[in-house]
Each structure stands twice: as C-alpha cells, then as structure tokens.
Amino acid sequence: MSLSWLPHNLEERLNRTLDRQVKLAVTGLSRSGKTVFITSLVHQLLQGIENPHLPYFSVVSSGRVQGVKLMSQPDLHIPAFRYDVAIEKLYDNPPTWSEPTKGISEIRLAIRYKVENSLLKRISPVNTLFLDIIDYPGEWLLDLPLLELNFEAWSQQIAKLCDKEPRLTLSQPWREFIATFDLSEPANDTILRQASALYTEFLYQCKSPQYGLSLLQPGHFTMPGELKGAPILEFCPIFTLPSSEIKENSFYAVLKKRYEAYKEQVVKKFYVEHFSSFDRQIVLADVLRSFNTGYASFADMRDALDLVLKSFTYGKSGLLNKLFGLKIDKLLFAATKADHVTPNQLPNLERFIEQMLAQAQNNVKFEGVKTATLALASVKCTQAAYTNFQGQKISCIKGVPLESEQPIALFPGEVPVDIPLPEEWVEGRFHFLEFKPPRLSHANGRGLPHIRLDRALEFLLGDKF
Ligand SMILES: Nc1nc2c(ncn2[C@@H]2O[C@H](COP(=O)(O)OP(=O)(O)OP(=O)(O)O)[C@@H](O)[C@H]2O)c(=O)[nH]1
Ligand SMILES: [Mg+2]
C-alpha cells in the first residue's frame, strides 16, 4: 500500500508505529571499522534476492526478499553516508579503503519482502521495511556519563587517570601550564584557549597509534564533528580547587560554566536528537589492534567499552530516559577485522570479548536489552593457509599488508582464551597487521567476502521481517 499521499512526517510516524521502519545505529571508537561495516552491509543487501553470501540471515536465505533499494534519507539535516564513494573505492583497481569519517551520517534502504505470518499475510502479502543506518563516533558515548558528574567530580576522575603512565608523562605540558595561574583570578580568554588546546593535544597524543588509549573525555574534543573550533570546546578539567573565594568571573567559575554548557548543549543535544531515537545498536571494536599495542592500551579500551556499554543502562534507567525515552532493545557488540586471525582462532576471539565485557553486558541485559557478542569481518581480506615451521604444519593467513604490494603468509599469534595478566603481555606476542582490500569484480556479481556479517544482521534485524 502506498502512503505517498500522507504528509512526510506523518508517513514517517506511521511507518514507525507499524514497525515498518527501523533505525540501526552503528558506532565504535575511531578506526574500529564503522564505514566498512555499513558499506559491506548495504552492498550485501543490495545484492538482494537469494544472496548466497548471507546464509544465516533468514529473510534472505529463505528467499523472502523481493528487492532492496537505496532511498533518500528521512533526516535531511544529517549528512549522507557516502556509500557510493566507499563502494567505488573498494571496486577500484587497486582497491582502497575509505577515508576516516568525522561525525554522524545516515543512509536509508527500502527492503521489500514476503510476509511470513499467516494472519498479516492476508492483509498485505508483501511489505516494505525502511532501514535507516546511522554511523556516529563511539567517542560521543564516552560523554554520556558526564551528565551525571559535576565539574569537580569529573576533574577528579581525570586526575586519577593521569596518576598512571603513559598519561602521567603525556599530560605534563598541560598540567604545568594550568599550574601557572591562580584559578581564583579573573579569567582570560587567551589563557583558557591555550589551556584547552594543551589538554586537547594531550588527548590526541594518548590516542596516537604509539599509545592507543581510548578512554578520552570529553569525547567531542578528539571527534568534534561540526563543532570543530567552536568555543564550547574551550575548557579542561582542573587538578586543584582555587585557593581563595570563587568569584563569578574567575578562571574556575568560567571553566565550570563551560563544562556545564558542554553537557547541556552538546551531550544532551546528541542524546535527545539522535541517541534516543535508535531502535537497534551495534558497537564495533578493533580489539586486536589493542593487543598489538600492549596491556595499557588493552585495559584502557576495555574501560572505555565498559563506559560505552553503560550508556545503554544509564539511558534505560536514568533521568534522561524518563524524559525522552530510550528505545534500543537489541545491542550487538562485535570485534571487527576477524580476518586478521586464523580461522581456528575465531572461537577464542569470541570467548575473549565475551569475557572482557561480561559484567557490562550483564547490566545491559538487566535493563531488558537483548545483547550478544560476535567476531566479524565486514570485508574479508585474507585467506586461510598453511605453512611449515620446523617440520610442523602451522595454520596461518595470507593477504596483502597495507604497506606492501605482495601477499604474505603470516602467523599473527594465538588469541588468548582468558584475559592475560599484565606481566604476560610480552612485547611481540601479537602481529595483527592491517591488510589491503581484496581485488573484486563487478562482472561476476560476487558480493564482498565477509565473516559472520549475516549473523550480525540476523541478530539485529531478523525479527523485523
Ligand atoms: N582486514 C580488514 N580490515 C578492515 C575491516 N574493516 C575495516 N578495516 C580496516 O580498518 C580501517 C578503518 O575502517 P573504517 O571502516 O574506515 O573505520 P571507522 O570506524 O569508520 O573509522 P573512522 O571513520 O575514522 O572513525 C580500514 O581502513 C581498514 O584498514 C575488515 O573487515 N577487514
Ligand atoms: Mg568512518
């Protein structure tokens, strides 16, 4: 049945009520694989009818999909997800990956499918599901906990993090700078700008591949999106309280005011405008990269992901939820780039992330959200292979490393089943390399090769058809 005679927003509302529209949000920290995941997902679905690459996505494998089409997106104020650019790059010769993305974007697909339910079938044998996919930086979820913290409590948390290496050394220039002025003195814009620039620089250094830290707040400082250069990002935490009485125009008072404005105008705005409207959520994490960097990077990523997952419980039972509601009822946590490990290591990788997030997942389940963990590769860039080492047959992977032209066979290291102790995290234990995308061809209609993307789709969307 066409609803084109309805005014636009009414049609949207009706689609949602009739369960014909679903908002699938895709997030993860920088470089976790969001763009590649969405590109592969859209590509797989556009392959549509009887796509042999999606055996575990039941609506497709049972032959019920009649067709899939890209549509113009419903939210005109959100930038478009550039599927066209990303897929062209993957099909190029040589194929390349997409550029990093900086903020939120959206894409809409219409999926026409045969209805299975015998009762509904009588009303309408064929239905259309509008799937809106939203890509947004996971860093923004690190901001939601700020809503429950005042400036002093947040500053204390940051101070505690900076007690330990590598933050202790990296934060030195910023800490030395803020120690040079008295917080009870009248504020000066130039000094405030310098202080926040040094703090932001400290966050970027923590994030650099050398240190690979993830728990970086405020999240918009390293992922500003459209707020790049805006004065609302010009503040930083403090280490000591002012020595004398606090005047309204003092450094201390201004920093506190800006922190509160950030919470109100940036964090809450994201919650109300976007987060509260999502139906389903997938959180992606490049766990293997943190293995390479060492224990500090791994532990920091785990803490950051714990905090990210808390956003969903916090949303469900917190004050904002009472005011604005939080719809997410299914949450999938996925370790990406599973083609970086040998196929026999996949179960280990899945057990590892399951354990790593057990506590956080439990809390989310408690709030009535269905959760699952999975290891996947949106685009499989390696092949399983074997090599001989000292007379023994060893399982390895074969692919073209990002910095090279020639394929190599590599044993990347065993994924531990249990989380290793800090002292077991010896240097050189893991060699998880980045790979070039595989050469693809339009001509033979082969979809992008992947690992377990269909299982992710089944968990996230299977019940909507
Ligand atoms: N081998 C392999 N590499 C992948 C896969 N997905 C992503 N990558 C690699 O990870 C990089 C980052 O992927 P993106 O999808 O751009 O990550 P993102 O989360 O969108 O990154 P930002 O936009 O910078 O936040 C890519 O350039 C690839 O090198 C995958 O499925 N397999
Ligand atoms: Mg991206």
Cα dist. 387→398, 407, 409 in Å?
10, 14, 8
Q: What is the DSSP string of 402-442?
A: TT-SS-EEE---PPPSSPPPGGG--TTS-----BPPPP--T
> Which uninterrupted H or E stretch holds 383?
strand 383-389
Do 339 and 373 fall into the same domain? yes
CA 465/CA 129 separation, integer angstroms:
8
- Residue 61 belongs to some domain of the structure: yes
Can you tell me whether residue 2 is helix, strand or coil? coil
Q: pLDDT (tens digit, 9 = 90+) per residue, 267-304?
A: 999 988 999 899 999 999 999 988 888 888 999 999 99
| Residue 75 counted as domain residue | yes
Q: Give pLDDT, residue 204.
A: 97
Question: Is 40 touching ligand 1 by the criterion CB < 6 Å?
Answer: no
Nearest residue (by CA) to ligand 1, atom 2, is 337
Q: What is the pLDDT of residue 124?
A: 78
Q: Is residue 212 part of a domain?
A: yes
Q: What is the pLDDT of residues 402-445, one digit of tens each?
A: 989 999 998 888 888 888 888 887 777 788 889 999 988 654 55
Report the C-alpha gap between 40 and 457 in whole angstroms. Answer: 11
**174-214 pLDDT, tens digit each:** 999 999 988 999 999 999 999 999 999 999 999 999 999 99
Statement to judge: residues 98 and 238 lie in one domain: no
Nearest to 297 by CA among 165, 175, 187: 165
| Atom of ligand 1 lying closest to residue 340 CA | 1
Which residue(s) pair with 121 in the sheet? Answer: none
pLDDT beyond 50 at 143: yes
Q: Can you give the CATH number for the domain in which 278 is found?
A: 3.40.50.300
Which of 231, 250, 269 is a domain's end point?
269
Alpha-carbon distance of 330 to 296, in angstroms, equals 30
What pLDDT, in 10s, does the model give residues 300-317?
999 999 988 888 876 555
429 occurs within a structural domain: no
Q: CB of 450 closer than 6 A to ligand 1? A: no
Domain end call among 269, 291, 308: 269
C-beta of 336 in contact with ligand 1 (< 6 A): yes
Measure Cα distances from 94 to 38, 159, 242, 450 in Å: 21, 47, 59, 19
Element (H, E) at 392: strand 392-399
pTM of the predicted model, to two decimals? 0.92
Looking at the structure, tell me whether residues 221 and 315 fall in a common domain.
no
Domain assignment present for 438: no
Q: Decide if 436 is inside a domain.
A: no
Nearest CA to ligand 1 atom 7: 33
Tell me, what's the pLDDT at 42?
96
The tally of domains found in the chain comes to 3
CA 78 / ligand 2 centre spacing (Å) = 15
Identify the residue whose C-alpha is closest to ligand 1 atom 3: 337
Q: Are residues 126 and 204 in the same domain?
A: no
Query: Domain span at residue 420?
Result: 383-424
The answer on 376 and 251 residing in a single domain is no
Phi, psi of 350, rounded to the nearest 5 degrees:
-70, -40
Question: Which ligand 1 atom lies nearest to the CA of residue 135?
Answer: 20
What pLDDT was estimated at residue 2? 46
Do 299 and 395 lie in one domain? The reply is no
Q: Which of 26, 30, 35, 216 is the best mutation target for the ligand 1 pocket, counting ligand atoms within 8 Å of the beta carbon and taking the most?
A: 35
Angstrom distance (rounded) from CA 419 to CA 142: 23
pLDDT of residue 419: 83
pLDDT at 1: 45
**Could you identify the atom of ligand 1 that is nearest to the CA of residue 102?**
23
Q: What is the pLDDT of residues 353-394, one digit of tens each?
A: 999 898 888 888 888 889 999 999 999 999 999 888 788 888
Cis bond upstream, residue 100 (ω within 30):
no
Give, for ligand 1, the residue of 90, 139, 337 to mutate: max count of ligand atoms closer than 8 Å to Cβ.
337
The residue whose CA is least distant from atom 12 of ligand 1 is: 31
Rounded to the nearest angstrom, the distance between the alpha carbon of 116 and the centre of ligand 2 is: 36
Do 369 and 398 belong to one domain? no
Ligand 1 centre from 324 Cα, in Å?
A: 33
Among 240, 269, 298, the domain boundary falls at 269
**255, two tokens:** 């920093």
Ligand 2 centroid from CA 35, angstroms: 4
Same domain for 162 and 134? no
Percent of the chain with pLDDT over 90: 63
- Of residues 389 and 320, the one with the higher pLDDT is 389
311, 406 Cβ separation under 8 angstroms = no
Q: Which atom of ligand 1 is nearest to the CA of 101?
A: 23
In a domain, 233, yes or no: yes
Is the pLDDT at 3 greater than 70, yes or no?
no
Angle separating helix axes 358-366 and 346-356, nearest 10 degrees:
60
Confidence class for position 321, pLDDT limits 50, 70, 90: low
pLDDT of residue 246: 77
Q: Specify the pLDDT at position 315.
A: 53
Rounded to the nearest 5 degrees, what angle is found at the Cα of 295, between the Cα atoms of 403 and 331?
85
184 and 242 in a single domain? The answer is yes
pLDDT band for position 11 (50/70/90)?
A: low
Is residue 52 a part of any domain in this protein? yes
Per-residue pLDDT tens digits for 42-93 = 999 998 776 788 999 999 999 999 999 999 988 888 999 999 999 999 999 8
Query: pLDDT, tens digit, for every residue of 326-352?
Result: 789 999 999 999 999 999 999 999 999
Q: H/E element holding 110?
A: strand 105-114
Distance 280 CA to ligand 2 centre (A): 19
List the shell of residues around ion ligand 2, using CB closer than 5 Å.
Answer: 34-35, 101
Q: Looking at the structure, tell me whether residues 366 and 415 fall in a common domain.
A: no
Choosing from 30, 34, 36, 404 the residue with most ligand 1 atoms within 8 A of its CB, the one to mutate for a pocket test is: 36
Nearest CA to ligand 1 atom 24: 100
C-beta of 28 in contact with ligand 1 (< 6 A): yes
Which residue's CA lies nearest to atom 27 of ligand 1?
97
Start-to-end CA span in the chain (Å):
17
Same domain, 376 and 411: no
pLDDT digits (tens, 9 = 90+) for 103-119: 999 999 999 999 987 77
pLDDT reported for residue 423: 83
User: Does residue 283 contact residue 310 with C-beta atoms inside 8 Å?
Assistant: no
Contacts of residue 4, Cβ cutoff 8 Å, sequence gap at least 6: 11
Whether 173 and 317 share a structural domain: no
